[in-house]
Structure 1
Amino acid sequence: MNLRTIITGGPGAGKTTLIETLAQRGFAVCDESGRAVIREQMSIGGCGVPWRDPQRFAGLMLARDIRAWHRSSGASAPVFYDRGIPDIAGYLTLCGYPIPPRLTEAISRYRYATDVIILPPWRGVYAQDNERKQSWQEAVETWKAMAATYEQHGYRLTTLPPAPPAARAAQAMEIISGR
């Protein structure tokens, strides 16, 4: 049984808060690669940020996501991911770039649990910051792109509606307990 569960959606939908809540409840989690890459690139003056070089940014996220996937290879309990490798394809599609063959291969090779949790846009918690520069409309379009990408790659989506973090965590735990 695949114990890797992805939590995806557009920016500012509450994914990271949900991941943090699950971690507080003792679950293993993998942080979002995109924000880590942005922080790293900004600290060194690198160009691998989405507003300078989206394709380089995607490549850096892919390398980080593959490492995260391998780190959980021996897991005997569920692991929650703040986004997964297919998110990179959704991002590139949204930006109008072709999906490189190495990314298509990675999506096929590094599989997660079939049931993916997707969080819809939530205006009540959406906020821009130094790492999240997308507008509200871009957040909505990202959510749509992620949904289409995951379905295209054979994943089954379960939407968790806007709710307090504890309620969403309980729903996420119900999803994985049904496996």
Structure 2
Amino acid sequence: MRIRTPSARRRNLIGVVAICILTLAACGGGEKPQRDGSKPSPKTSIVGVWTRLTTCEQRVKALDDAGLGKYAAESVAGDSFIPGVTDADQLEDKGDPCRGAKPAKHSHFFTEDGQFGSLDDTGQQVDDGPYRLVGKDSVVIGEVTFHYTATRDTLTLEPVLPDCAKSGCFDAQWAVAVSYNGLPWDRTG
């Protein structure tokens, strides 16, 4: 039987700790390397296609939460939630604009060369424009700023409503429709 002195135990412990550190460093905490071999930053790229199943009720709630609820009927009618309805005057009940509404798949995409776009539930492009990243957590699409969080799997967008939101301007309504005020979008491409 070998008796270890405290200094021998310390050396063994240091060796075990060193092996653990080297192993963790080699594994990179489970993160996959980028194409250039570097590790991804904590904030994953916004570039890609992001999709969610949107509902009329989510849109109305997002508009209400942003103080734009009086524009809900107009917003819902213009976004194909209710088959055959393209104008708020066609709604059965403007007070309940989601009556007869169906969920709709919607996607956004961000390209590496700075282009943003949206696709409706049939895959048709319904929105486009330039975007630029600002700081660590903001993206400006057109003229509207959004705070964002992107992981490998999800994207959330929180709009910074423009000053004209008080009057219900298009940019404010559009920002809410694009973001759903922070509901998650899943990476699909």
What TM-score bracket applies, with the shorter chain setting the length? under 0.3
TM-score (norm 2): 0.25
Greater RCO (Cα-Cα under 8 Å, separation 6 or more): 1
Q: Could you say which structure has the higher strand fraction?
A: 2
